[in-house]
Amino acid sequence: MSFNPPFTDWHGKSVWLVGASSGIGEATAAALHAAGARVFVSARNAAALARFVEAHPGAVAVPLDATDPVAVKTAAQTVLQTGPIDLLMYCAGYYKPVRADDFDLTEMLKHQQVNYLGALYALDAMLPHFLQRQTGHISLVSSVAGYRGLPKSLAYGPTKAALINLAETLYVDLKACGIGVSVINPGFVETPATAQNDFPMPGLMTTAEAATEILAGWQKGGFEIHFPKRFTLWMKTLRILPYVAYFAIASRLVKS
């Protein structure tokens, strides 16, 4: 089923990626550039953005701190001065394993600021543009960690669950306005964030493989883009289990 207008040809399209200095964001920006889109890449790491632009002629770097609403709005104004944006991808993310027996409020709030509040700042900056044009697409990078509460995900998981809920509500509100919405729920992808994990990561993918899945999902007009299926479908099963069964499985994961 197609939930959104499909992106079948990226030539002439403009995409703004917030959080594109590394990982899934950088790889997706590179894939979009190769497909013919004009890409605007944003992140705090200005040097990494400059290297990306040098390697991808025509790309535009717009450095910003996603946790600063003024900086995000200023960056949006800079991007929009060049013309309309067809797709906004919020892929800024922060992850550190946290458990309740080592509760760290600073870490909890940092996850919230980068993963969730940053997405709200991007929406605040770009929704008026999309609503005025009655077209465009918003894509939020969440995670299968947002499906259910998982070990070591006390700080990260709730922010990703919030993004999934946010995307669902945006879709309901914006469909009649002609604006597409999608949520991207990756499994394990080789990024600086997952390099911190000290446990086996089933179905581990490269960032280039993740970018291929994302563009394929947009081409199909999908709402939820999740991968790799052999792992994410198992995670979806956990999502629908009753608590008695889910907590029994989760308890075993904590002990492993």
pLDDT at 256 over 60: no
Q: What is the pLDDT of residue 198?
A: 64
pLDDT at 202 over 90: no
Q: What is the pLDDT of residue 204?
A: 78
Over residues 116-150, the pLDDT tens digits come to 999 999 999 999 999 999 999 999 999 999 999 98
Q: Average of pLDDT values for 21-45?
A: 97
pLDDT band at 195 (very low <50, low <70, confident <90, very high): low
pLDDT at 191 over 80: no
Q: What is the pLDDT of residue 187?
A: 86
Q: What is the mean pLDDT of the chain?
A: 94
Over residues 233-242, the pLDDT tens digits come to 989 998 899 9
pLDDT band at 7 (very low <50, low <70, confident <90, very high): very high
pLDDT at 181 over 70: yes
pLDDT band at 192 (very low <50, low <70, confident <90, very high): confident
DSSP the chain: ---S------TT-EEEEES-SSHHHHHHHHHHHHTT-EEEEE-S-HHHHHHHHHHSTT-EE----TT-HHHHHHHHHHHHTTS--SEEEE-------B-GGG--HHHHHHHIIIIIIHHHHHHHHHHHHHHHHT--EEEEE--GGGTS--TTBTTHHHHHHHHHHHHHHHHHHHGGGT-EEEEEEE--B-STTGGG--S--TT-B-HHHHHHHHHHHHHHT-SEEEE-HHHHHHHHHHHHS-HHHHHHHHHHHHH-
pLDDT at 101 over 70: yes
Q: What is the CATH number of domain 14-255?
A: 3.40.50.720
Q: What is the pLDDT of residue 167?
A: 98
> What pTM does this model have?
0.94
pLDDT at 250 over 90: no
